[in-house]
Amino acid sequence: MYFLFFAGVGMLGIILGLFWLKDVLRSPRLARFVYSELVARLALAGAAFSILGLLMILGDVFGS
């Protein structure tokens, strides 16, 4: 339950780190990778994991 939330937060943190690294290094190859469809899908999966994990945690806290 907590794993799903932290996995999503970790994925989003890594993607934000890649965007920051792209700006620092000014690498065209890294920029192409960061703006790729794969990274967009991973960001969507990370957001979904975070939301589902948070909902599971809230359900456990406010549930029975």
Q: So what's the pLDDT on residue 60? A: 93
Instruction: Using pLDDT thresholds of 50, 70 and 90, give the confidence band for residue 1.
Output: confident
Instruction: Using pLDDT thresholds of 50, 70 and 90, give the confidence band for residue 39.
Output: very high
Phi, psi of 26, deg, nearest 5: 55, 45
pLDDT of 64 over the 70 cut: no
Range of the domain at 49: 2-62
How many angstroms from the chain centroid is the CA of residue 39?
9
Q: What gap in Å lies between CA 56 and CA 2, rounded to an integer?
A: 8
Higher pLDDT, 2 or 43: 43
Q: So what's the pLDDT on residue 63? A: 86
Q: What is the dihedral of CA 27, 19, 7, 57, to 10 degrees?
A: 180
The total of structural domains in the chain comes to 1
Mean pLDDT on 9-23: 97
